[in-house]
Homo-oligomer: A and B are copies of this chain.
């Protein structure tokens, strides 16, 4: 397919580069802002799609990609030092040599942390079809983030009405959706978060039955016993570390732990493991890690399920939108300081 009309020009392209692999807590100096240029036309011989970045998704798993990965079995491939970081995002098609996309289309997919991205594998892009919701939602509730909450809860945990559900990092991008999905499934839901503001949000706006600020709790085991006198049937694991150890002591027999991530471990090279792991035997617990990529076929089912709830206001989606590409490093670092509430998004350009 020929590229669209108009004259080819060189566009200034600001980019966020990872300078080197990172161990320990990430710093702004691990990143570099570079100004490059890119041709406004997809090169001949390519079947690529050139996008203008509109919204970028900032997610905890990206920290894992900043490491040098030793283990070839990893799903996450490391970022390449000196290269542009990539992640989920929403863009507008500026030029295309793929017949499925035309100039002006709005798409979501994996794009660079840069103003313009040439996507050379356009089969990984999805056209945005529902224009009655904000397009930034396509970096979150209407992207892999929302699907993560959906399949991680419904497919991995097999919830039953009336079960006791605990969600950690409950005001985060995935957590605040899991809690609302669990309420829709008829479960009793408690969330943990790291500030009073977040706890109030969970209880007052998002319909969690209870919530607590883990930073104010001396003894997480006692805390969980207080909120779950009958024990926990389902734990949606986002944090790992001490919280997981306390949860293991408070699970009910035949409980399920869906492991989405363990943000408390991501900045450590030698994280501590859960010392109460034998509870898996005592309580006959199933603990299962999952990755949303195994569930992409669920997108249509998930969208059909979630869109009416969004439109009716029965699922509330919280976004924490920061302006400008140059905010990306600080926003990513902020995830590990618990700064964001809801989904961390960068607005690179207005629609």
Contacts and interface: CB of A to CB of B under 8 A. Distances in A.
A271 B275 contact: yes
A271 B244 CA distance: 15
Given A245-B273, A275-B271, A275-B273, A253 B289 contact: no
A277 interface: yes
Interface in A236-295: 240, 244-245, 249-253, 259-262, 265, 270-291, 294
Mostly helix, strand, loop or mixed at chain A's interface?
A: loop
Interface in A22-40: none
A282 B76 contact: yes
A71 interface: yes
Contacts of A231: 73
A151 to B, nearest CB: 11
A247 to B, nearest CB: 12
Nearest to A285: B289
A271 B274 CA distance: 9
Given A265-B278, A273-B245, A289 B294 contact: no
B281 A273 contact: no
A242 to B, nearest CB: 11
Contacts of A275: 270-273
A350 interface: no
Contacts of A244: 277
Contact of A253 (B73, B259, B277): B73
- Indicate the size class of the contact surface on chain A: 35 or more
A287 B280 CA distance: 8
Contacts of A262: 277-278, 281
27 contacts: A71-B279, A73-B231, A73-B249, A73-B250, A74-B282, A75-B253, A262-B278, A262-B281, A265-B277, A270-B275, A271-B278, A273-B273, A273-B274, A273-B275, A273-B277, A278-B289, A280-B287, A280-B288, A282-B289, A282-B291, A284-B288, A284-B289, A284-B294, A285-B289, A286-B286, A286-B287, A287-B288
Interface of A: 71, 73-76, 231, 240, 244-245, 249-253, 259-262, 265, 270-291, 294
In the A-B complex, list the 3 residue pairs whose CB atoms are closest, starting with the nearest: A273-B273, A280-B289, A281-B289
